[in-house]
Amino acid sequence: MARLRGARALPPADREIKLIGFALAFFALVSLATWALNGFGYEDFKNLGKHGRLLLFWPLLVALAYSGLRERAALLGLAGCAALAGLVAADPLLWGESVHRANGATNAIPFGNLSLLSGLMLLGLAGPLFSNRHYTPCLLALLAGLLGLTAAYLSGTRNNVLVLPVLLLFLVLFAGRRQRIVSAIAGLLILGLFVGLESRLGEGIMAVLDGDYGRGIQYRFDVWQHALALFTSAPFSGVGVQGYAQALQASIEAGELPQGLARCCLDHAHNDLFQILATRGLLGALSWLLVLGIPFTQFLRYARHENDRVASLARVGAMVPLAYLIFGLTEATLERGIYITFYLLSVTLVTHLLFRALDESLTRTRSQRLSATVITYNEADNIGPCLESLKGLADEIIVVDSGSTDDTVAIARQYTDRITVTDWPGFGPQKQRALEQATGEWVLSIDADERITPYLAREINHRLAGEPNADAFKLRWAVTIYGKRLDFGRSARAPLRVFRREGSAFSSAQVHEAILLPDGARIRTLRGRLTHYTHRDYGHALAKSAQYSWLSAQQKAEKGKRTWTLLYPTLRAITTFIQVYILRLGFLDGPVGYLMAVTYAQTSFNTYAGLWTLGRETSADNDSGIQDGTNE
């Protein structure tokens, strides 16, 4: 991976991609942990072999990035799979043979499920292809998609009747305005054909409507109850796949469950969540929630993107975990190797294509003036790279210095002549002085230890083209310290940095100043990262932490806040560590993430400990005043 990065200058992975990779890896690692906790059973080891495939996400993603694979090649591959499934399923019909259920080279259920998903993914791509006049790939997607749906229909897989309307509704809701009506008509037609034709699907629906659930559905109710009972007996780690099978066999032999369950349900509970709760407990349920939820949310956030290419890829990507969620209502999909493999390949492929398309979608040129403001004090190490990152972005650069004794001002003069040297009134008032000198319609307020990445510069220019859809933009931080770019913990915050000049101002706070916007201002968050070199070294980190803690304590004291016991600063430090390191996933940043979580916890303790000392001093002064008055 290191050689590939050097050879092709692959950019560092985005935070969204790291989250998806974490979700897949966490599912595999929980499988490993529960295998150990449940006694290293053989059946659990076989499952570990299936789930371990998810660890291939990063090698596959790097290979795709290095190869430069694009949408048309991916479309051709997906179309080939769907078309082959359709031809295999229809082959007996073409030759007049009688086949109960088409199943390709695998079980009819995964064959039908994955054929349906492939077909709908292709239909999801067809609309944008047609809108952009890519008629040949659009026709290929439509034909292959219909063949995939044909295979799904001929498989007779009943839970497709649950999946189909949900995915069709998803496509209609998130389709573009021009595609929504066509998608709705096509969806109703497909759904009608699936349900209306004489088939195993239609018979199943009619039986349920008549109250006749049938033996297959009743068996599922029985194993679901069995799985929940096993979960309550071992809620943290479950009983393992082997323990589940042994318990089910024992219940069958004791006459507590029907004998037929030994043929269909001995190795799984026909439901993903119940199966995972029984075999891997709450830890497994968390991994199931993440492995489906994180890719879905990361893809869904771009499903209404202004760029058709990005939006269509995002919709197709979000369909995959959504479909697996519904497949898993009546089948244990994440216990089958073919489902795991398809999930890995489709999520990895869409991740590569989507985030590449996002990068290539920034094409517009800014049409409004942008002023960049920077306040400085002894920032000779930082000011040059900071102002260098503004070249090609800002129309004017304004520097307000607080009497630096190093080369800060001399270095700044190499980039701008708009430099003012003045006193230090505090962060808020000083940034307000810089703002008052700006002449552009838009202002970018940046600190000397921050850098605008090339991607973020392109994104700002793109957003400020024409009439922007917001009045202010937040920029996501990427703290870089000790040679590591942090993507989680407190680094995941997005401070407001770009805003319309008219009607805006900075608060008068000495520290942690805020940008005050006009009422009703629309705020958006940009995807690009604002690199933040917050500390030069560990000594600087300690000094800066102490300075900010004391200023924050004084600011809180001025507002009348008090801390009555040192227990409160201690609890605040603990909760800060938990929030930064665990809840905000700081552990994904490795050892530096741990160090930063401890540093933030120490800062939180120092702030409220300082507030406690200020409260004692105030009480002592008041007592002294009372005593003086008494003596007089």
* pLDDT tens-digit series, residues 98-111: 566 788 778 888 99
* pLDDT value at residue 619: 59
Q: Dig out the tokens for 201 from the structure.
A: 């699907």
Structure tokens at 313: 């890829």
Please give the Cα distance from 300 to 294 (Å, whole number): 10
Please list, residue by residue across 23-32, b when 16 or more beta carbons sit within 10 angstroms of its beta carbon and e when fewer do. bbbbbbbbbe
Q: Output the pLDDT for position 252.
A: 86
Beta bridge partners of 484: 481
Task: Give 11's DSSP letter.
Answer: P
Two tokens, residue 587: 């552990």
CA atoms within 13 A on the CB side of 152: 28
Alpha carbons 76 and 108: distance in angstroms, whole number: 24
Mean pLDDT of 554-564: 88
Consecutive H or E run containing 383: helix 383-388
Please compute the mean of the pLDDT values over residues 269-280 and round it to a whole number: 92
Q: How far apart are CA 578 and CA 572, in angstroms?
A: 10
Q: Which residue has the higher pLDDT, 73 or 400?
A: 400
How many Å apart are CA 29 and CA 291, to the nearest integer? 12
Coil, strand, or helix at residue 505? strand
Given a contact cutoff of 8 angstroms between Cβ atoms, the answer to whether 532 and 516 are in contact is no
Q: How far apart are CA 385 and CA 271, in angstroms?
A: 55
pLDDT of 603 higher than 90: yes
Angle in degrees, CA 375, 376, 380, rounded to 5: 145
Tell me what pLDDT residue 541 has: 84
Can you read off the two tokens belonging to residue 525?
């968050």
Mean pLDDT, the chain, integer = 86
* pLDDT for position 298: 95
d(CA 334, CA 96): 36
C-alpha 496: how far from its chain's center? Answer: 21
Kindly indicate the confidence band of residue 632, based on its pLDDT and cuts at 50, 70 and 90.
very low
* Predicted local distance difference test score (pLDDT) of residue 301: 93
pLDDT higher than threshold 60 for residue 201: no
Residue 100 Rama label (left phi>0; alpha psi -120 to 50; beta): alpha
> What average pLDDT does this structure show over 463-477?
90
pLDDT digits (tens, 9 = 90+) for 326-337: 999 988 999 999
Strand duo 396-401 + 419-421: pairing = parallel
pLDDT score for 628:
55
The per-residue pLDDT for 195 is: 62
Cα dihedral: 277, 282, 288, 290 (round 10): 170
Show the domains of the chain with their CATH numbers. 11-360 (no CATH), 370-534 (3.90.550.10), 539-631 (no CATH)
Mean pLDDT score, 94-98: 58
Backbone phi, then psi, for 399, in 5-degree steps?
-115, 125
Instruction: Name which of 3-7, 297-301, 580-584 the model is least confident about.
Output: 3-7
Name the pTM for this structure.
Answer: 0.87
Place 631 in a pLDDT band, splitting at 50, 70 and 90. very low
Residues 541-549 have a mean pLDDT of: 87
Is residue 579's pLDDT more than 90?
yes
- In the chain, the percentage of residues whose pLDDT exceeds 70 is 88
pLDDT for position 93:
64
Using alpha carbons, select from 143, 187, 142 the residue that is nearest to residue 168.
187
Question: How many Å separate Cα 521 from the centre of its chain?
Answer: 26
% of the chain with per-residue pLDDT over 90? 47
Q: How confident is the model at residue 623 (pLDDT cuts 50, 70, 90)?
A: low
CA distance 149 to 156: 11
Helices (H), 504-537: none
What are the tens digits of pLDDT across the range 281-323?
A: 999 999 999 999 999 999 999 999 988 889 999 999 999 999 9
